[in-house]
Amino acid sequence: MLALAISPKIEPDDVTAILNLLKRDHNAWNTFGAVQFFEMHQADLMKDPTLKTRVQATNSPHAQQILSLLQPP
């Protein structure tokens, strides 16, 4: 997950993989790297109009923090 966070380019499948992890694993220690993924790729991810809904559907303990990253400045 951290490799995806620092990758210079992301693919739609990367986002799906991160969201699937957030759905499956609600252990904040295991999924903390997902927040970094959203921080590092914030500008690109904000372009996806469905992403906020998809993040909310994960019921992850990080969902609110991630959603705040997807808000326009």
Ordered by start, the domain boundaries in the chain are 24-73
The H-or-E segment that residue 26 falls in is none
What is the pLDDT, as a whole number, of residue 14? Answer: 96
The predicted-structure confidence for 29-63, as pLDDT tens digits, reads as follows: 889 899 999 999 999 999 999 999 999 999 999 99
Q: For position 65, what pLDDT does the model report?
A: 96
Long-range contacts of 48-52 (CB under 8 A, 24+ apart): 48/15, 51/15
pLDDT of residue 73 exceeding 80: no
Cα(26)–Cα(48) distance, rounded to whole angstroms? 24
Contact in structure between 25 and 31 (CB atoms under 8 Å): yes
| Amino acid found at 45 | L
